[in-house]
């Protein structure tokens, strides 16, 4: 059994998997760039689904789309596997409280990138559409409302997502994201990374906060079909006073976050 465990740990720490996992950060960056661009387009009266299925749909229309989809799927799957390895094998030398927190964060990141990989896989196999994430979120919310105890659980999930958004947004001004990077020596490059990170984390936090609040509001008002994920949260923002301007600002922030994630592909500290 120990040999099997050691072999699994070696696989999750292999150089090939690390390179693919780094590419996963870049894919996440590209998808955030596209979501941000779609959000800006919505702000000026355009169309599109401002979530990851909408972003992947646009990726699929680009030249050599099938190649991009296959490569993006492999990269996100590799990053999910890498994070899974972190959750299982790493952080064991740390104090118990810190170890549990870091393992939980790695496990959550593994799930996030696995969901991205599944979204990409649907498009690779020709079954994906730009409205997949929106429909999946709405269907999940409706199913939960109908389940025993589902309403309370949904409210808790929405609040958890909203709190995660606040925590995510705070990483920007606090610049705590720098501890996960090998910061460039050049002053100009360092400034660019920090600027993009601050703006990007603020925007990412804002959209998570909006998504969580939308889940809570739709559940309390007994309109679960209105819980439509990231796209629904951004559209709800557009409908507020000064909404188009706020949406454009958030979209620009997501573009910054996408650029930061592309830089992270090279700068990330992958070893623990």
Q: pLDDT (tens digit, 9 = 90+) per residue, 70-94?
A: 999 999 999 999 888 888 877 777 7
Give domain status of residue 51, yes or no: yes
Whether residue 8 is predicted with pLDDT greater than 70 in this model: the reply is no
Whether residue 147 is predicted with pLDDT greater than 80 in this model: the reply is no
pLDDT band at 252 (very low <50, low <70, confident <90, very high): very high
Give domain status of residue 177, yes or no: yes
Q: What pLDDT, in 10s, does the model give residues 194-215?
A: 999 999 999 999 888 888 888 8
Give domain status of residue 18, yes or no: yes
pLDDT band at 248 (very low <50, low <70, confident <90, very high): very high
Mean pLDDT of 178-185: 86
Whether residue 164 is predicted with pLDDT greater than 80 in this model: the reply is yes
Q: What is the mean pLDDT of the chain?
A: 84
Give domain status of residue 272, yes or no: no
For the chain, the domain total comes to: 1
Whether residue 253 is predicted with pLDDT greater than 90 in this model: the reply is yes
pLDDT band at 6 (very low <50, low <70, confident <90, very high): low
Q: What is d(CA 43, CA 246) in angstroms, rounded to the nearest whole number? A: 8
Q: What pLDDT, in 10s, does the model give residues 9-57?
A: 665 667 888 899 999 999 999 999 999 999 999 898 888 888 888 889 8
Q: Which two tokens stand for residue 24?
A: 């996963």
Could you list the residue range(s) of the whole structural domain that residue 131 is in? 2-267
- The more confidently predicted of residues 245 and 97 is 245
Q: Which two tokens stand for residue 156?
A: 């808790």
Give domain status of residue 119, yes or no: yes
């Amino acid at each position: 059994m120990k040999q099997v465990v050691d072999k699994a740990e070696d696989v999750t720490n292999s150089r090939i998997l690390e390179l693919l996992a780094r590419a996963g950060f870049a894919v996440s960056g590209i998808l955030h760039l596209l979501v941000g661009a779609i959000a800006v387009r919505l702000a000026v009266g355009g169309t599109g689904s401002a979530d990851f299925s909408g972003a992947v749909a646009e990726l699929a229309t680009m030249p050599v789309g099938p190649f991009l989809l296959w490569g993006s799927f492999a990269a996100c799957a590799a990053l999910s596997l890498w994070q899974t390895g972190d959750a299982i094998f790493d952080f064991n030398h740390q104090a118990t409280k810190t170890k549990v927190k870091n393992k939980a964060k790695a496990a959550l990141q593994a799930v996030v990138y696995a969901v991205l990989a599944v979204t990409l896989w649907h498009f690779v196999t020709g079954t994906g559409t730009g409205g997949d994430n929106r429909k999946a979120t709405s269907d999940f919310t409706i199913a939960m409302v109908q389940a025993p105890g589902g309403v309370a659980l949904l409210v808790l999930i929405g609040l958890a997502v909203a709190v995660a958004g606040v925590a995510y947004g705070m990483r920007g001004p606090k610049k705590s994201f720098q501890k996960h990077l090998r910061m460039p020596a050049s002053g100009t490059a360092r400034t660019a990374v920090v600027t993009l990170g601050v703006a990007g984390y603020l925007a990412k936090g804002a959209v998570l906060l909006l998504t969580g609040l939308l889940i809570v509001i739709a559940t309390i008002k007994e309109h679960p079909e209105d819980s439509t994920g990231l796209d629904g949260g951004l559209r709800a923002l557009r409908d507020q006073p000064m909404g188009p301007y706020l949406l454009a600002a958030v979209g620009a922030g997501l573009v910054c976050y996408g650029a930061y994630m592309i830089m992270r592909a090279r700068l990330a500290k992958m070893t623990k």
